[in-house]
Chain A
Amino acid sequence: MSIEKILFPTKFRELAFDALDSLTVLKEAGLKEIVFLHVILREDVGFVPFGGYLKKEEEKMRAEARIRLEDWQKTLDEKGIKSKIIIKVGRPVHEMIHAAEDEKVDMIVVGRKKRIDIENTFIGSYTHKVITRIRLMTFVSKYMVEYKFDNAELTKVNDRPFETPLITVGGDEELSQRAVDSLKKFKGAVKKAIVFFNIDEKMMDEKNKAEMEQLKEECKQKCGKYCEQLGAAGIEAELHLGAGEILDEILRVSRERKASMIVAGNTSEHRFLENLLHRSISYQVTKSSELPVLLVP
């Protein structure tokens, strides 16, 4: 199994084409087709107060979108990747979910593909809605971001997101296994995977030195199987342990090990209360990391 078909919704924002271009490396992982989706907001053309519908405006917007997307299609053609254009009037998230179902895509690409300011979090309202509602592998692209690190303001261009993924495992074993299985589909695009397991404060509570050593060994053994599985699938993998607050540790290790993206089980989906409080780890990682995030359902 590989990632054969991707849904790429676009509003033609700054750097959207670069983000698209960064996905074409997935041809090495079996990518065959990219489905473009452009949604014209219903509010932009419909419900003119006491008027009606701006049909001509809709036609103009459709024509503009088609011209731009056809130009992108040429680039994909040159790389041997098929493509399809869908232009809809409606609400973006609803149309994304429907297009993903209708086209039976393997992955949906969301997220801001333009420059993201330091002041903003790395997640928009559409992205939030998609990752909390969709049962599909979701790649949160962050092509260019500005972020703060050690009080310095830095800019990061994520133009090779699949090269060195950091995959978070632990906690929910089933979810960890699904994340590992999903990463295998990217074989060909991945150079080396970093398997990350965090020993949190609860696990360390009231343990002496010997017990801590034993815990470390257990964790290594537990996660070693994921490295072996990835290795067997042809993806070189190495294990790294973290200790303490999980979000901080994921961000720390991803930076230290120069990860190119983070792979996490999507625990945001259908968890009403957690979503309301924005507490789920996958949500927090997506929101806080300057790296693209692959969320696995």
Chain B
Amino acid sequence: MYGAHGPDLGEVLSLWAIVPFAGMLLSIALFPLFAPKFWHSHFGKISVFWSLVVAVPFLVLYRGSALYEFLHIVLADYVPFIIILVALYAVSGNILLRGTLVGTPRVNTCILVIGTLLASWMGTTGASMLLIRPFLRANSQRKNRTFMVVFFIFLVANVGGSLTPLGDPPLFLGFLRGVPFFWTFNLVVQMIVVVVVLLVIYFIMDSYFYRKEKDGLPAYKEEKEPLSIEGKHNFIFLVCIVGAVLMSGMLKLGEVSIFGVHREIEGVIRDGLLLLIAFLSMMTTRKEIRDDNEFTWFPMQEVAILFIGIFLTMMPCLKILQAGEKGALSVLVKTVEEPYHYFWVTGILSSFLDNAPTYLTFLSGLLGKFYSGAGGHEAVMNLISDKEIYLKAISAGAVFFGAFTYIGNAPNFMVRSIAEETGTEMPSFFGYMIKYSIPVLVPVFGIITFLFYL
């Protein structure tokens, strides 16, 4: 047995143990790029494959300890993670923005501002799904729409989600590990800097292209429809989601054992409430609203299937990192030292891997480095009181850099898919980076480093 009565599992695992995790993340990075059709048809099997590659040998070698760790990561991390995504996705999918918007630079900038503000409260996925179609409709007559969608991904699908654990999955995983709900407000100044710089760049670009295109733009054929929001009562459900998550962070009701895994009762109640909210939202909203929103559960199913693979394969990696300098990744733990190291390394890895597991990996790394062997929530509170800048660095890195590539954050691919479906040409994986991420985001993140982490 490992853990309570023997050496920690993370201390005895070798680097080989993280091969399935690397395989899983590389599959997510490379298959959509080089074999998208194959990936589209078989991503579930690939997720199962990597899960088995890690689960079978672990269960054979470490039996009870391995089973406990797998159950723990599924019940304590994966299930709440999927439930919050489902709740936010369902509720935001039941809100429909109708009306005619004309895509001028001012209107577009306003949409981006609204989306950025909403993202922290309805999730980057929810805000993106709510606004991307109206945004594209507003600009249907414009010729150069690509840069608009890219900035939408930057702001609404990523940076906007940095203020609360509801905003972006990595921050919710941090919340589950003990980061207080309102702690993420500490990122507000960094967020404002990034948002303002990006909006200024956007406005200049949009104004330039608008002036260039203005004379050639065809007149709007459709009759002007006044702006309106349908399914407004779902905003109440959004408030309920915030309330349920807040409640779970504030109450301490003890623990309950589920399959031998101790879970806080308030967390279980929160998950139940979130499912109930999602159900009530679906039941109380007319189906036509979802139809007109082109709502489908399919992207959420994909995320659920892929992330079970990610979470299972991630377990050994997290354990090794939690072991700090006693673990097989001690070199990494020793090398990454300064806050700006954490900002950039978390960020760059978040760009090419999904940002949620990357955040969790680096959070575990930090806890292993500074508080090796200490309990989860207690270590997190110590980290906040003694070394807060490190937590800020990995939080900002994970959220901001999620915009760096299409695979950095789940809503990126949903926005891209909808844009391409409606006839907006989007750059390739590398085109996105070369034309937009590197010239725009790298200097902005340079400013953030200079202002906050040096």
Contact = CB atoms under 8 A, between A and B. Distances in A.
Interface of A: 42-43, 45-55, 57-58, 89-91, 94, 97, 133
A47 B294 contact: no
Which among A42, A43, A49, A52 has the greatest number of chain B C-beta atoms within 10 A? Answer: A49
Contact of A42 (B39, B287, B294, B302): B294
Q: Which 9 A-B pairs have the closest CB atoms?
A: A51-B32, A53-B420, A52-B416, A49-B302, A50-B407, A53-B417, A48-B40, A46-B417, A43-B298
Nearest to A45: B421
13 contacts: A43-B296, A45-B421, A46-B420, A48-B39, A49-B413, A50-B32, A51-B40, A51-B406, A51-B417, A54-B36, A54-B40, A90-B294, A97-B291
Given A45-B421, A50-B410, 19 more contacts: A42-B298, A42-B421, A46-B418, A47-B298, A47-B302, A47-B413, A49-B303, A50-B354, A50-B406, A50-B413, A51-B32, A52-B416, A52-B420, A53-B417, A53-B419, A54-B37, A54-B40, A91-B291, A133-B287
Which among A45, A50, A53, A90 has the greatest number of chain B C-beta atoms within 10 A? Answer: A50
A152 to B, nearest CB: 41
Contact of A52 (B298, B354, B426): B426
Contact of A46 (B33, B39, B412, B421): B421
Nearest to A49: B302
A208 B73 CA distance: 72
A52 B417 CA distance: 4
Contacts of B278: none
B298 A48 contact: no
Q: Interface SS of chain B: helix, strand, loop or mixed? A: helix
A94 B291 contact: yes
B32 A47 contact: no
A65 B208 CA distance: 41
B153 to A, nearest CB: 11
B366 interface: no
Which among A55, A58, A89, A94 has the greatest number of chain B C-beta atoms within 10 A? Answer: A94
Interface string B2-42: 00000000000000000000000000110111001101100
Contacts of B40: 48-49, 51, 54
B198 interface: no
Contacts of B418: 46, 53
B64 interface: no
A46 B33 CA distance: 14
Nearest to B415: A52
B43 interface: yes
Interface residues of B, number: 33
B96 interface: no
Nearest to A98: B291
A46 B414 CA distance: 8
B393 interface: no
B169 to A, nearest CB: 14
A50 B412 CA distance: 7
B39 A55 contact: no
B306 interface: yes
A47 B128 CA distance: 14
A49 B29 CA distance: 10
Given A43-B296, A47-B299, A50-B413, A55 B420 contact: yes
A49 B43 contact: yes
Contacts of A48: 32, 36, 39-40, 413, 417
Contact of B28 (A49, A57, A58, A90): A49
Contacts of B302: 47, 49
B208 to A, nearest CB: 26
A77 B99 CA distance: 41
Nearest to A48: B40
Contact of A89 (B354, B419, B421, B426): B421
A230 B366 CA distance: 83
Nearest to B408: A50
Interface in B55-86: none
Contacts of A58: 421
Contacts of A47: 296, 298-299, 302, 413-414, 417
B23 to A, nearest CB: 15
A259 to B, nearest CB: 34
Contacts of A54: 36-37, 40
Nearest to A52: B416
B426 A51 contact: no
A89 B420 CA distance: 12
A43 B414 CA distance: 12
Nearest to A90: B294
A121 to B, nearest CB: 23
Given A43-B298, A54-B40, A57-B37, A49 B32 contact: yes
Contacts of A42: 294, 296, 298, 421
A90 B298 CA distance: 12
Nearest to B40: A48
Contacts of B303: 49
Given A47-B413, A47-B414, A47-B417, A52 B32 contact: yes
Interface in B104-134: none
A133 B291 CA distance: 12
A133 B287 CA distance: 10
A97 B419 CA distance: 24
